[in-house]
């Protein structure tokens, strides 16, 4: 939630920061802003409510001079979506500008103290307190590092912030406590951001900051300290994400591009370092009990993993929602293994579950897309999705990558060699499924006026029914529910009336006959059946044909038309599928 970026170097900062903000927009898009420090040591700020493009249109932006600057894109937590609450914030004497991601828990207390000392606050945010605090402390210390260690000593909460002080030109500072912050090492310029994506066009050499670390950056130097002010030596990492993969190419939206990329990304998920897979498999084999945790779409991948592990590896698994994890903490013992699944590796609920588990001595392994993210660093072993940056806020390709990795692990554990090698056919099958694009667009065009949608499936198709409903809600704002097909008759059938769309996930596997009967029950009550299957039936009013495959591959193939349905329903309803209202891709608050 919220993307922050900073630049210090020898080029004009504004256009570099604006470009970075466009790449960070997935983290929030309630408002955006940029501040710079000019050669006369004056800080200038331009901000606006709305998306980055709105900021980019502002005439004042072209006059924003300075070779050091900060930028922010906001997902509102404290204070409404207003111009005054937009970042960057200034201290009252315009001596300090800051951008912040996270929550300052003791901001009211700090604000009262600063108020009493004569500081004038203009916003309702918790973040503004940082600007005033830096100003107040720096006035006494007159030295950036001691001022910064004093500031972080006083702040409570989860945060990453960057600041520039008029009195210390061309020095940028940053601090990290439970929110991501990455340093980009350039040539005669340096960067700071919530995500390396922001500056990947300029450098691929990065240093991932850890909790309780501070950083001072000038155009030539980067020095990292702990919160006590001791210098820390940290190696730089070279990251591999291609700049090209963050462009939309010929697609109208990132979401559509990412849906189409799945023909390759499902295979990239299988291309793992064999040693990492061995470590993961070994951890699963040794575990007394296996738990999997995640949120949103990643939680749905975890639900499917439970079925895969049970069916193919005969390993019982417990799936726990990360946001509910504290209710079950006591179940865990030292012999347990916790698998945390997260695209971003920064979801606060997931990190909090991991922290609790580690405290109890539980081994934590993870499945993550964003390399270098906090979850990777908090885990003893990790398998990366390898699907490249996912910009669309709703998860698409990262979900199918997670499904592929879980498939691979379950089949490895169950020594199902034939199915294991068959996984490589998934790319071709997904490619075939992508050919449904025009048909699904046409279905969405007709059905986007519906008020409610239902998604049903049994066994391996049940998590996909949940995911299909979540995707439709997220992207098109149509109310949707996913459920086990057999559960419909135990209550929800009461909601079916003439024309209500019900998506039935029903390829020919062991659940085919029962699910078809459930579909007939719905049809008899007037429901409009959209069958996703390998075999046509007169029960279906719309038939979406997916290719014949092994049962464990069907969920991956089903994901594609479900994602397309949500995408095209959003487009038909004139919503931007890349940036659904009220949501953010990386939810770094609990
Ligand atoms: C947010 C996103 C969802 C995502 C969930 C978990 O709520 O809007 O699309 O599924 O976070 O994200 P993660 O990065 O942990 O997989």
Distance CA 65, CA 38 (A): 6
Which range is least confidently modeled, 41-45, 235-239, 467-471, 521-525?
235-239
**Predicted local distance difference test score (pLDDT) of residue 27:** 87
Q: What is the pLDDT of residue 240?
A: 66
Q: Is the pLDDT of residue 247 over 80?
A: no
Q: How far is the CA of 401 from the centre of ligand 1 (A)?
A: 14
Tokens 């699910």, located at residue? 515
394 lines ligand 1 (CB under 6 A): yes
The mean pLDDT value for 45-53 works out to 94
pLDDT of residue 354 exceeding 60, the answer is yes
pLDDT digits (tens, 9 = 90+) for 177-206: 989 999 999 999 999 999 998 998 899 899
Mutate to test the pocket of ligand 1, among 294, 297, 581 (most ligand atoms within 8 A of CB): 297
CA 469 / ligand 1 centre spacing (Å): 15
**Cβ(158)–Cβ(152) under 8 Å?**
no
Instruction: Give 418's DSSP letter.
Output: H
Residue 316 structure tokens: 């019982």
pLDDT-based confidence at residue 337 (cuts at 50, 70, 90): very high
Q: Residue 297 CA: which ligand 1 atom is closest?
A: 10
Residue 574 has pLDDT above 70, yes or no: yes
In whole angstroms, give the CA distance from residue 337 to residue 308: 17
Residue predicted with more confidence, 372 or 554: 554
Q: Is 77 in the pocket of ligand 1 (CB under 6 A)?
A: no
For 265-297, what is each residue's pLDDT tens digit? 999 999 999 999 999 999 999 999 999 999 999
Q: Which helix (H) or strand (E) holds 202?
A: none
DSSP 209: P
Stated as kind and residue range, the H or E segment containing 226 is: strand 222-226
The domains located in the chain, with CATH, are 3-239 (3.60.20.10), 248-415 (3.40.50.10490), 432-575 (3.40.50.10490)
Centre of ligand 1 to C-alpha 35, Å, is 30
Estimate to the nearest angstrom the gap between the alpha carbon of 563 and the chain centroid.
17
Does 112 have pLDDT greater than 60? yes
Ligand 1: atom nearest CA of 347 is 15
Q: Which of 136, 79, 141 is nearest to 104 (CA)?
A: 79
- Concerning whether 585 is annotated as a catalytic residue, the answer is yes
Averaged pLDDT for residues 204-219: 94
Query: By percentage, how much of the chain surpasses pLDDT 90?
Result: 85
Average the pLDDT over 429-451 and give the result. 96
Of the listed 2, 365, 381, 387, which one is catalytic?
Answer: 2
Distance 232 CA to ligand 1 centre (A): 32
> What is the pLDDT at residue 244?
43
Quote helix, strand, coil % in the chain, to nearest 5: 40, 25, 35
pTM of the shown model: 0.83
Give DSSP secondary structure letters for 199-211. Answer: GTTT--EEEEPPT
Q: Is 277 in the pocket of ligand 1 (CB under 6 A)?
A: no
Comparing C-alpha atoms, which of 65, 59, 61, 16 is closest to residue 42?
A: 65
Q: Does the Cβ of 555 fall within 6 Å of ligand 1?
A: no
3 state SS of 224: strand
The owner of tokens 């089949």 is 411
Share above pLDDT 70 across residues of the chain, in percent, rounded to a whole number: 98
CA of 151 to the centre of ligand 1 (A): 31
Mutation probe of ligand 1 site: the residue of 296, 300, 466 with most atoms within 8 A of C-beta: 296
pLDDT at 242 (0 to 100) = 53
**Rounded mean pLDDT of the chain?**
94
Q: Say yes or no: CB of residue 64 within 6 Å of ligand 1.
A: no
Q: Which entry of 47, 263, 523, 585 is annotated as an active-site residue?
A: 585
Going by pLDDT thresholds of 50, 70 and 90, the confidence category of residue 241 is low
Residue 151 clears pLDDT 70, i.e. is over it = yes
Which pLDDT score is estimated for 245? Answer: 61
CA of 374 to the centre of ligand 1 (A): 15
Hey, what are 210's tokens?
């850890």
234 has pLDDT over 80: yes
Ligand 1 and 295: CB distance under 6 A = yes
Q: Concatenated DSSP letters for 534-560?
A: SS--TT-SEEEE-----GGGHHHHHHH
pLDDT of residue 243: 47
Given a cut of 80, whether residue 1 has pLDDT beyond it is: no
Q: Higher confidence at residue 152 or residue 250?
A: 152
Ligand 1 near 382 CB (within 6 A):
no
């Amino acid at each position: 939630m919220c993307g922050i970026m900073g630049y210090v170097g020898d080029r004009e900062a504004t256009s570099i920061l604006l470009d970075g903000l466009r790449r960070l927009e997935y983290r929030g898009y309630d408002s955006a802003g940029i501040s710079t420090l000019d050669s006369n040591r004056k800080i200038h700020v331009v901000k606006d409510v709305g998306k980055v493009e709105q900021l980019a249109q502002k005439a004042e932006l072209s006059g924003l001079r300075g070779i050091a600057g900060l930028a922010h894109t906001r997902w509102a937590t404290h204070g409404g979506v207003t111009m005054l609450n937009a970042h960057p914030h200034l201290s009252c004497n315009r001596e300090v500008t800051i951008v912040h991601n996270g929550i300052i828990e003791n901001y009211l207390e700090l604000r009262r103290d600063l108020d009493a000392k004569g500081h004038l606050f203009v916003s309702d945010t918790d973040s503004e307190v940082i600007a005033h605090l830096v100003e107040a402390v720096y006035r006494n210390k007159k030295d950036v590092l001691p001022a910064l260690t004093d500031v972080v000593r006083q702040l409570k909460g989860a945060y990453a912030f960057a600041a520039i002080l008029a009195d210390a030109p061309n020095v940028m500072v940053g601090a990290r406590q439970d929110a991501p912050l990455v340093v980009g090492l350039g040539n005669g310029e340096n960067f700071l951001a919530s995500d390396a994506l922001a500056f990947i066009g300029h450098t691929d050499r990065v240093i991932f900051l850890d909790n309780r670390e501070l950083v001072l950056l000038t155009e030539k130097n980067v020095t990292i300290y702990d919160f006590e002010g001791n210098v820390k030596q940290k190696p730089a990492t070279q990251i591999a994400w291609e700049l090209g993969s963050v462009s939309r190419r010929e697609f109208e939206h990132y979401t559509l591009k990412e849906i189409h990329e799945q023909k390759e990304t499902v295979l990239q998920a299988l291309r793992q370092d064999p040693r990492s897979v061995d470590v993961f498999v070994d951890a699963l084999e040794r575990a007394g009990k296996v738990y999997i945790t995640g949120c949103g779409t990643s939680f749905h991948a975890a639900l499917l993993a439970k079925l895969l592990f049970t069916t193919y590896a005969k390993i019982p698994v417990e799936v726990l929602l990360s946001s509910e994890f504290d209710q079950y903490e006591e179940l865990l013992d030292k012999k347990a293994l916790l698998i945390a699944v997260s695209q971003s590796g920064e979801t606060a609920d997931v990190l909090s579950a991991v922290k609790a588990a580690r405290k109890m001595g539980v081994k934590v392994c993870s499945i993550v897309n964003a390399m270098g993210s906090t979850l990777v660093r908090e885990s003893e072993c990790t398998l990366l999705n390898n699907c490249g940056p996912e910009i669309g806020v709703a998860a698409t390709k990262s979900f199918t990558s997670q499904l592929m990795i879980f498939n691979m692990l379950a089949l490895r554990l169950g020594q199902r060699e034939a199915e294991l090698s068959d996984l490589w056919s998934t790319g071709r099958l997904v490619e075939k499924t992508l050919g449904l694009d025009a048909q699904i667009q046409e279905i969405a065009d007709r059905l986007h006026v519906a008020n409610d949608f239902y998604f049903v499936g049994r066994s391996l198709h049940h998590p996909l029914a949940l995911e299909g409903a979540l995707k439709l809600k997220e992207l098109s704002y149509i109310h949707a529910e996913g459920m086990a097909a057999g559960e419909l008759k135990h209550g929800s059938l009461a909601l079916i009336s003439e024309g209500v769309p019900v998506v039935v996930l029903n390829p020919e596997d062991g659940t085919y006959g029962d699910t078809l009967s459930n579909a007939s029950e719905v049809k008899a009550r007037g429901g409009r059946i959209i069958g996703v299957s390998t075999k046509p039936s007169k029960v279906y009013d719309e038939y979406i044909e997916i290719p014949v495959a092994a049962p464990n591959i069907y969920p991956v193939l089903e994901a594609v038309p479900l994602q397309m349905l949500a995408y095209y329903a959003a487009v038909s309803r004139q919503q931007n599928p890349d940036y659904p209202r009220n949501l953010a891709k990386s939810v770094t608050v609990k």
